[in-house]
């Protein structure tokens, strides 16, 4: 998984897997969901991320099973 914040465009990109994107779905006018041919989520793009998702301020925590 990769999380990238592009300050110049205020865009947050969350990549869950490296796969060939078969379709991009608009969840709303500022949120895109990329899926592969099997419908698995590849990535989510959030525009205006500083307002909508609190980017670039975030924390990461891995929880043991």
* 12 domain-assigned: yes
Write down the pLDDT at residue 63.
73
Q: Cα 13 to chain center, whole Å?
A: 4
pLDDT of residue 65: 73
At 33 the pLDDT is 98
Number of structural domains, the chain? 1
Beta bridge partners of 14: 3, 44
Name residues of the chain where pLDDT drops below 70.
58, 60
> CA-to-CA distance for 55 and 9, rounded, in angstroms?
12
Residue 56: the pLDDT is 73
Residue 60 lies in a domain: no
Q: Kindly list the distances between the CA atom of residue 44 and the CA atoms of 13, 34, 37, 56, 65, in Å, as whole numbers in the listed order.
A: 6, 6, 16, 15, 25
The pTM assigned to this predicted structure is 0.83
Write out the residue range of the structural domain in which residue 47 sits.
2-52
């Amino acid at each position: 998984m990769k999380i990238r914040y592009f300050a110049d465009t205020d865009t947050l990109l969350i990549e869950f897997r490296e796969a060939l994107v078969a379709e991009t779905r608009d969840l709303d006018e500022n949120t895109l969901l990329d899926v592969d041919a099997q419908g698995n989520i590849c990535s989510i793009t959030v525009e205006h991320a500083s307002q909508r998702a609190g980017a670039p301020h975030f924390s990461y925590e891995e929880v043991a099973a």
